[in-house]
Structure 1
Amino acid sequence: MAAEAGISRGTVSRVLNNEPYVSETARRAVEAAVAKVGYVRNAAARNLVTQRSRAIALIVHEPHSVVLDDPNIGNILIGTNAVLSDADHQLVTLMIDSQRDSDRVIEYLRGGFVDGAIILSARTGDPISEAIAELGLPASFVGHPPDAPAIPFIGIDNRAAAEAIVERLVATGRRRIGMLASGLDRDSGQDRLAGFQAALGDLFDPALVVRHPFYSYAAGAEGMAELLERDPHIDGVFAASDAVAAGAMDVLHRQGISIPEQVGIVGFDDSSWAIRCTPLLSTVRQPAETLGRRAAQQVLDQLLDGGEAPDGVILPTEIVWRASA
């Protein structure tokens, strides 16, 4: 390669590794030589020298069915991949659906196959987060588990956002308001339930909270049926996600209960579910793609610059009010 380009091996190496202090003439000579000889960079050899894989893991603590059902996860992945791609890093997605998955991923991380990790939907007591902290791996949470190790995070104020949209639901005159609560083993679900309770004050009735592990359409359908059994006169519902709200709305339609005349319903996320509902769903808009972008940048800042990311960054949300309430 150096002979073909007519320059030193050191200069060729600097060009191939995008290092500074290379003249434009030398850069063009190397590029021409690459094209002529068909050179392909040996990434494995480079990684052995640099001790870097240039791969970042996105660790998703959700069952496969929920991953496919949740547009937010897809948008977070899109944002993450965009930032890593621009930085010439590879995204590796790891889904955790069992203890066996968790054990295997911990061993994978210890093997040095990735340079950093982004942790999505971590539960309380997550062993993977603890392993990442022990390894000193550059990492970022999307969200912030209450017992999380000292790892930077990017998130939203779930409690304040839930409180704001439920207060607006109350302002429509609803008095028997229930919640389809999901994800209570993680910060987002706990905080949305806390915001719901705070907004209702004396109107809060614990019997009108139906719990389900996952943010899913099935959780909404099953939960709404149970909520109606507990109180057939319920007139308002806060669903912990748009997917949950969509399931609940289908049950209300099947039972001949009009929305919003008899029951007003609001969700959370402003995902594609919200605009597939009839009527269109009132919800909280959270910036899912931006969450992924900022989490990826937090990891790169730690990895590439050797700097420390801030402890946590909270992004704004907004209420999107539509016809469902």
Structure 2
Amino acid sequence: MVTVPARRKRATIHDVAVEAGVSRGTVSRVVNHEPYVSAEARAAIEAAIEKVGYVPNNAARNLVMQRSQAVGFIVHEPHSLFLDDPNIGGILLGANTVLSRADYQMVSLVIDSQRDTDRVARYLSGGFVDGVIIVSARHEDPMIRVVEKLALPAAFVGHPPDLRRLPFVGIDNRRSARAITERLIGTGRSRIGMIAAALDRDSGADRLAGFTDALGSRFEPNLVARVPLYTYSDGAEGMRALLARDPGIDGVFAASDAVAAGALEALRDAGRSVPGDVGIVGFDDSTWALRTQPHLSTVHQPAFGLGAAAAECVLGQLRGEEQPADGILLDTPIVWRDSA
């Protein structure tokens, strides 16, 4: 028979006060980082806290302050993409770094279905988080309306067209896509197509718009393969579609590095060399860009910086600070490698 040890009784402020020989009010001031406590009393209290093993009851304190000391990190993506997409991981780490420095807990919430949407909406309505960071919101995303209704401090990573004046951080996807497509044109390619992914969100739609801008009158709608997600498998499928439509294609802009990596596989299977027969460029400068052979020319997306900026934006709102009405945009330099 296994004996379950008795649960140790939690130390209280009273225990600390008795051990330190001071009043409970003095202990409370030290625990809450308030002034008007002598150095001698503070030292005695800190020693007593260590001896009796006292841990402040943050749940009770937060209840009084009507604060949870937590921020939600909501990702509107399939579960598999949440795990595989290095940009989401970078955004998450950037946000968590800033929040942890401010003594906030980050709560990750993944939306992959309508049921998830309803569950997360109920969770937010329950006051379990003080604010939210939302990644990959779509056009007419219900989370936008939930945040508006609750007047919840929020920062969106990206800028859906119906976001109105809610705070956001992001990049200029359209300008960046135009710039790298123009660089690809400059290599002498004449039949350039695009594997356009995630067109139900601003990043995908804006990258297609930038590609169209760069080609101008040379743009051919038939040389755009539309795929659902920024994934390796969608990239391979999109590249096979482009080859079937135009075997003479000699340049490709893939909407993400993962998509470009899948396209490279399809090109190898078709016996096409890169960059000899086909030049290809991606978007993100993620770990995918250096896992391919040849390494990908791409646009650097500052994923960690986006997450950090989004967290700072939420914390600023919690402090009552005004946020830029036109959002926060980070730079996206082109990183040119061997694939084009």
- Name the TM-score class by shorter chain: over 0.9
- Mapped pair 1:55 → 2:60: no
Match of residue 2 from structure 1:
17
Rg larger in structure? 2
For residue 310 of structure 1, the aligned residue among 306, 319, 324 is: 324
3-state DSSP of counterpart to 2:82 = helix
Describe the shift of the 1:230–1:297 C-alpha distance in structure 2 as closer, same or farther (beyond 3 A).
same
Task: Tell me which amino acid in the other structure corresponds to 1:9.
Answer: R
- Mapped pair 1:153 → 2:165: no
Match of residue 241 from structure 1:
256
Residue-by-residue CA offset, 1:24-51 (whole Å, 9 max, x unaligned): 4443222211111111222221122111
d(CA) in 1 for partners of 2:151, 2:90:
27
d(CA) in 2 for partners of 1:263, 1:290:
33
Describe the shift of the 1:243–1:20 C-alpha distance in structure 2 as closer, same or farther (beyond 3 A).
farther
Instruction: Please state how far the C-alpha of 1:253 moved relative to its aligned partner.
Output: 1.0
- Mapped pair 1:324 → 2:336: no
- The residue correspondences of 1:201-280 to structure 2 (distance < 5 A) are 201-280=216-295
Describe the shift of the 1:260–1:47 C-alpha distance in structure 2 as closer, same or farther (beyond 3 A).
same
d(CA) in 2 for partners of 1:247, 1:115:
40
TM-score by length of 1: 0.97
3-state DSSP of counterpart to 2:290 = coil
3-state DSSP of counterpart to 1:317 = coil
- The residue correspondences of 1:25-64 to structure 2 (distance < 5 A) are 25-64=40-79
Task: Tell me which amino acid in the other structure corresponds to 1:169.
Answer: L
Match of residue 165 from structure 1:
180
TM-score by length of 2: 0.93
Describe the shift of the 1:235–1:306 C-alpha distance in structure 2 as closer, same or farther (beyond 3 A).
same
- The residue correspondences of 1:98-109 to structure 2 (distance < 5 A) are 98-109=113-124
Task: Tell me which amino acid in the other structure corresponds to 1:306.
Answer: G
Task: Tell me which amino acid in the other structure corresponds to 1:296.
Answer: A
Unaligned 5+ residue runs, structure 2? Answer: 1-15
Instruction: Please state how far the C-alpha of 1:23 moved relative to its aligned partner.
Output: 4.6
d(CA) in 2 for partners of 1:196, 1:23:
66
Match of residue 11 from structure 2:
none
For residue 299 of structure 2, the aligned residue among 284, 293, 300 is: 284
Describe the shift of the 1:22–1:276 C-alpha distance in structure 2 as closer, same or farther (beyond 3 A).
farther
Instruction: Please state how far the C-alpha of 1:3 moved relative to its aligned partner.
Output: 2.9
C-alpha contact 1:129 1:149 (8 A) present in aligned 2: no
d(CA) in 2 for partners of 1:115, 1:27:
31
3-state DSSP of counterpart to 1:202 = helix
Residue-by-residue CA offset, 1:188-241 (whole Å, 9 max, x unaligned): 111101100001112110001111121111110110011100111000000000
Unaligned 5+ residue runs, structure 1? Answer: none
When structure 1 is superposed on structure 2, of 21-30 and 102-111 the one drifting more is 21-30
Q: Taking every aligned residue pair, what percent have the same amino acid on both sides? A: 66
d(CA) in 1 for partners of 2:192, 2:52:
71
Describe the shift of the 1:182–1:21 C-alpha distance in structure 2 as closer, same or farther (beyond 3 A).
farther
C-alpha contact 1:165 1:283 (8 A) present in aligned 2: yes
C-alpha contact 1:176 1:233 (8 A) present in aligned 2: yes
d(CA) in 1 for partners of 2:240, 2:81:
20
d(CA) in 1 for partners of 2:293, 2:274:
8
When structure 1 is superposed on structure 2, of 273-282 and 20-29 the one drifting more is 20-29
Describe the shift of the 1:26–1:175 C-alpha distance in structure 2 as closer, same or farther (beyond 3 A).
farther
